[in-house]
């Protein structure tokens, strides 16, 4: 099982499980909460068929990676990602984040710059800043996140059941764009995550990524569903696209949060088109696509 060591906790190593397939220009896929790299199964074969090298990995605390009780903040997540791309000696690679994974994309580019990075994709992302503050009135009241933390502490298994209802908009899409079995698999992966990580990751959702986004200087595609109940598009995707110079915006009509599953065809089409364009072509005003 391929893994890299990114740190230590007492007597044990902190290892990240990853998969590295194909050849060509690398694409690094960074999963959302509370899933794992396996959640990209509708994207990996499409990217491989298009001639890309595809790397997925499990964030610390999730999937097949180690489950420490430390390091659950976006600076550490970005550092873990940096160690992965450095060890794999990636060049001219694209960073693709989904949901919480977009925090890694933003913080990586804000902290380490774009050396070696050719493009970035933010899908249903947490940036730019979800917490309501005096200078961020569009954000969500902090009591909402405290309520989520209390629900996780009380019964994280029940919390995940409710969470995935809005993750997939099951009241509208179950049996149409997502099956009961697919939702169950997501739940299974979620409950296999570290209890510490399940709780500690919540504050990372509302870290401030505005400065990170201002430093992004690679072609960027923002993809978001206009029916996202986890991260409403007005508070996240639309603002992110405005804050990244020259970003392109793809809005998925009726798309819930997990559009990488429910609307994989639209997401994959936008992704492949974007990856097929060079930097010069993308130096143009934002495009709003429906």
**Residue of 58, 228, 236, 263 marked active site:** 228
DSSP notation for 9-71:
ETTEEEEEEEEEE--SSEEEEE--TT--GGGGTTTHHHHHHTT-EEEEEPPTTSTTS---SS-
**Residue of 99, 193, 194, 236 marked active site:** 99
State yes or no: is 228 an active-site residue.
yes
Torsion from C-alpha of 102, 45, 82, 198, nearest 10 degrees? 50
Would you say 101 and 31 are in contact if contact means Cβ atoms under 8 Å apart?
Answer: yes
Helix (H) or strand (E) holding 185: helix 180-191
> What's the N-to-C CA distance of the chain in angstroms?
40
Using alpha carbons, list the distances in angstroms from residue 132 to 104, 208, 288. Answer: 21, 11, 26
Measured from the Cβ of residue 24, the count of other Cβ atoms closer than 10 Å reads 12
- Report the side by side order of strands in the sheet with 3-9: 3-9, 12-21, 53-57, 26-30, 93-98, 117-123, 220-225, 248-252, 288-289
**Residue of 31, 52, 257, 263 marked active site:** 257
State yes or no: is 99 an active-site residue.
yes
The catalytic site residues sit at 99, 228, 257
């Amino acid at each position: 099982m391929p893994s890299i060591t990114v740190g230590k906790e007492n007597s044990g190593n902190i290892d990240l499980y990853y998969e590295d397939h194909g050849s060509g220009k690398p694409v690094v896929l960074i999963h959302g909460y509370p899933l794992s790299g396996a959640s990209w199964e509708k994207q990996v074969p499409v990217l491989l068929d298009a001639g890309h090298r595809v790397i997925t990995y499990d964030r610390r605390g999730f999937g097949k990676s180690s489950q420490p009780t430390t390091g659950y903040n976006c600076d550490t997540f970005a550092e873990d990602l940096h160690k992965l791309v450095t060890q794999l000696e990636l060049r001219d690679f694209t960073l693709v984040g989904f949901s919480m994974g977009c925090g890694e994309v933003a913080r990586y580019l804000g902290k380490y710059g774009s050396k070696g990075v050719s493009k970035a994709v933010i899908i249903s992302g947490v940036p730019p800043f979800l917490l309501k503050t005096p200078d961020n009135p569009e954000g969500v009241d902090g009591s909402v996140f405290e309520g989520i933390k209390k629900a996780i502490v009380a019964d994280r298994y029940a919390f995940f059941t409710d969470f995935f209802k809005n993750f997939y908009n099951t009241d509208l899409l179950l049996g149409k764009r997502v099956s009961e079995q697919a939702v169950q698999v997501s739940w299974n992966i979620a409950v296999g995550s570290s209890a510490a990580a399940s709780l500690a990751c919540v504050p990372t959702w509302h870290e401030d990524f505005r400065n990170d986004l201002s430093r992004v200087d690679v072609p960027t595609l923002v993809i978001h569903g206009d029916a996202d109940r986890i991260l409403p598009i007005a508070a996240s995707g639309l603002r992110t696209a405005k804050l990244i110079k020259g970003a392109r915006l793809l809005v998925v009509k009726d798309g819930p949060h997990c559009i990488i599953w429910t609307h994989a065809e639209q997401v994959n089409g936008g992704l492949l088109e974007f990856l097929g364009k060079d930097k010069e072509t993308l130096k143009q005003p934002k495009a709003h696509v429906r």
